[in-house]
Chains A and B, each alone.
Chain A
Amino acid sequence: MSALENLPEIDNGLLRFLTCGSVDDGKSTLIGRLLFDSKTILADTLNAIEKTSARRGMSAVDLSLLTDGLQAEREQGITIDVAYRYFTTGRRKYIIADAPGHEQYTRNMVTAASTANLAIILVDARKGVQVQTRRHSYLASLVGIPHLIVAVNKMDLVDYDQASFERIKADYLAFAGQLGIRDVRFIPLSALNGDMIVDRGERLGWYQGPTLLEILESAPAAHTERAENFRFPVQFVCRPHDSANPELHDYRGFMGRVESGEITVGDAVTVLPSGASSRVKAIELGGVPLPKAIHEQSVTLLLEDEIDISRGDIIVKSAEAPEPVKQIDATVCWLSETPLSPARTYLVRHTTREVKARLAKIDYRLELNTLAHEPASGLAMNDIARVTLKLAQPIVADRYADNRATGAFIIIDESTNNTVGAGMIG
């Protein structure tokens, strides 16, 4: 592929994916290889890593250096945070969320997975399915990633042996069923040599499936293929009050993003939690009218009736209006070094609404290695638990499994304003 062909011609949208694996499984090398083979690495960057590779006495360029992190991390020799990388092919733009595999892993992986539609789970061909592999797969399914690719890496170190690959595939499938992961694909790779990533290479002739990049190019960009209910959380209300322009005098635009579903001019809508109803008079973007708006589009809605609506309200189609709730059951991942204190009041941020919340109970804490349920009275960083929360005001929620946008929330500690927890309703 030449770099000029990188100019998107057929726009197949944007795909966000996540890479996960244990330390040394080859995650950095794989990402480096994708960037390198898609010609996204530029000359001066390559020059710098060539110098570093030579200084460290390596014969070939170490592509893992491309994803080398911050000074603080380099000094400590660890990676501490999710990094985002970008590459473009002739068809698509990609955003990679690269989560490191150390103690803070659960937290980082949940963060990286929350915006991804596909996960690549790396397995070392010599080691096969590990405890970590199961953890990553579980977390990916928990956060609702619809497509998984199990990449069996370092095939060169097992002489590109098909039997090793098939064994790992069988092992993986044996537990994947339990997790309810629907779309799993397996691919043998050598990230180091570049086999089956962008080019097929010479040594994996027995593998008939697509290359890694081919899978990425054809994966659906939408999070789900199901038709979803229309959900439009109001972010901002536009009232220009322009005395010079009488047309704008009564203008009231409700600004937000279509978090799911779609909306057409004339549709009957209900505003929640108040329950007031109206019809869509106009849909605009930057003052320009649109006939309809689809999932993920940021627009402004104008309604036929004058209704009092403010930030934090949510506009839905009248036929699909859910009941506002003041108590939620959720799976929570604790993100903060400061443990959850069951006695305290926290802030829950759900779509554009913030409400005070208290813990009603913890059903159980999940032991990630065995998926066993354990009793718990508090939560520490990286814990995952089933909890019930009581809310000071109602929210308009869906089950996370049905709707990723209206099923998710974060927990904020008001004393520090830190984001301390992430929750999925259902």
Chain B
Amino acid sequence: MSTLTKQTLSHLDWLEAEAIHILREVAGQCANPVLLFSGGKDSLCLLRLAEKAFRPGRFPFPLLHIDTGHNYREVTDFRDRRAAELGERLIVRSVEDSMTRGTVVLKHAGESRNKHQSVTLLEAIEEFGFDACIGGARRDEEKARAKERIMSFRDEFGQWDPKNQRPELWNLYNARSHKGENIRAFPISNWTELDVWQYIQRERLELPSIYFAHTRPVVRKNGLLQPVTELTPAKDGDVVEDVLVRFRTVGDITCTAPVESDADTLDKILAETATTTITERGATRMDDQTSEASMEQRKKEGYF
């Protein structure tokens, strides 16, 4: 094989160009798309990519957050501020409203609301008539996602049928849907956790403070650090410790665990990510530990 002569893009530039292309395809092919924005690092990358794709114009879609009501204040405040800075419209729909309507029924008061986000998301899709939801999921996150399409088709019930997905060739994405059906579009499918952190560093993206090392009261349980909060108080016999931690994903308080870390800068987080020995979800998602296939199950029910 000959030596490299032709000028090619660096890997981050290539990933960025691909993601911009996907975002523009969604905007070009879909009548009423929406971008799912949580304030987390993956969706913050999506926002930067959308700026690169559509500025100086406005985004051709609003932002939507499905709020479990169990998010860290640092993250929801950041979410609101970021949307305001961008001058884009943010829609928030909450799982608590679905509970009031009776469409979400918890098995018990302490049950995680995380998986019930699917119901609220489907209700929002119906309310606004969205035909596509842009999400920040990545194929490297979990086994069940390795075969996910960039444009993933969901039926009228929001269900993902792994056997009924469209072949995806070249960069000819097929985002067509009939009324009531929905496309989930994943512009950063081909990114890994390390790519995300490298991009955040390169683009100097601001992040919610809890991504960086801070001291927090936690209880050690099943190899995970469980944060002690109003929602998740210590139980009798629990040993509460103040530990230097950071979050690698920011989700529902009841099911997102921090990891022990002194990484208080992006450089340190990057170094730690490159040497880390635990996958992102394995370290931090308490609900994923219960079943290897739990993500796949949730996706079938209409989760991202």
Partner of A42, one of B24, B174, B279: B279
The minimal Cβ–Cβ distance linking A105 to chain B, given in whole angstroms, is 13
Contacts of A6 in B (CB 8 A): 194, 274
Chain B residues with CB under 8 Å of chain A are 1-18, 20-21, 24-25, 27-28, 51-58, 60, 139-140, 143-144, 146-147, 162-163, 165-172, 174, 176-178, 189-190, 192, 194-195, 198, 270-271, 274-279, 282-283, 292-293, 296-297
CB-CB under 8 A from B169, the residues of chain A are 110-111, 114-115, 408, 410, 419, 422
Question: Interface readout for A375-419 with B: 1 if CB under 8 Å, 0 if not?
Answer: 000000000000000000000000000001100111010000111
**Whole-angstrom distance between the Cβ of B162 and the nearest chain A Cβ:** 5
| Given contacts A14-B14, A72-B162, A287 and B55 within 8 Å (CB-CB) | yes
Indicate which residue in A147, A286, A311 contacts B55 across the interface (CB closer than 8 Å).
A286
0/1 interface trace, chain A 152-185, chain B, CB 8 Å (1 if under) = 0000000000000000000000000000000101
CB–CB A298/B147 < 8 A: no
Interface residues in chain A, defined as those with a beta carbon under 8 Å from any beta carbon in chain B:
2-4, 6-8, 11-14, 42-45, 48, 67-72, 80-86, 88, 92-93, 95, 107, 110-111, 114-115, 147, 183, 185, 215, 218-222, 224-225, 235-236, 238-240, 242, 248, 251, 253, 255-257, 285-287, 294-298, 311, 335, 349-352, 404-405, 408-410, 412, 417-419, 422
Interface centre among B4, B8, B194, B282 (most CB of A within 10 A): B8
Contacting residues, chain B, for A111 (C-beta < 8 A):
167-169
- Of the candidates A3, A69, A93, the one whose C-beta lies within 8 Å of that of B275 is A3
Given A3-B275, A222-B8; 20 other pairs, CB 8 A cutoff: A4-B271, A4-B275, A13-B14, A69-B143, A70-B147, A71-B293, A84-B147, A115-B169, A219-B1, A220-B3, A221-B4, A221-B8, A256-B24, A257-B20, A285-B52, A296-B14, A349-B172, A350-B172, A351-B172, A419-B166
Q: Is there an interface contact between A72 and B20, defined as CB atoms closer than 8 Å? A: no
A240 touches B58 (CB 8 A): yes
Chain A residue nearest to B27 (CB atoms) is A236
Q: Are B168 and A69 in contact (CB under 8 A)?
A: no
- Is B163 in contact with A114, judged by CB distance below 8 angstroms? no
Q: 8 pairs across A/B with beta carbons < 8 Å?
A: A7-B194, A7-B271, A8-B11, A44-B278, A83-B147, A86-B139, A114-B170, A311-B28
Do the beta carbons of A83 and B11 come within 8 Å of each other? Answer: no
- Decide: A93 and B195 in contact? CB cutoff 8 A: yes
CB distance from A305 to the nearest CB of B (A): 20
CB pair A419–B28 under 8 Å, yes or no, is no
- Are the CB atoms of B282 and A85 closer together than 8 Å? no
Q: Judging by beta carbons under 8 Å apart, are B146 and A69 in contact?
A: yes
Give every chain A residue within 8 A of B25 (Cβ-Cβ): 235, 352
Q: A8-B11, A256-B24, A287-B56 are known contacts. Are A44 and B192 too (CB-CB below 8 A)?
A: no
**CA of A350 to CA of B282 in the docked complex: distance in angstroms?**
41
Q: Is the CB of A253 within 8 A of B57?
A: yes
Provide the bound-state CA to CA distance between A298 and B16, in Å: 8
**Contact B170–A248 (Cβ < 8 Å):** no
Q: B21 contacts A286, CB within 8 Å?
A: no
Decide if A95 touches B190 in the complex (CB within 8 Å): yes
Chain B residues with Cβ under 8 A from A4's Cβ? Answer: 271, 274-275
Quick one: given A14-B14, A44-B282, A83-B146, are A295 and B8 in contact (CB under 8 Å)? yes
Expressed in whole angstroms, the minimum distance between the Cβ of B136 and any Cβ of chain A is 16
Check if A298 sits within 8 Å of B178, measured CB to CB: no
Contacts of B274 in A (CB 8 A): 3-4, 6-7
Interface centre among B4, B169, B192, B198 (most CB of A within 10 A): B169
Instruction: Point out the residue from B4, B58, B143, B198 that lies within 8 Å of A68, measured CB to CB.
Output: B143
Residues of B within 8 A of A240 (CB): 56-58
Return chain B residues, CB-CB under 8 Å to A235: 21, 24-25, 27-28
Partner of A236, one of B24, B146, B195, B292: B24
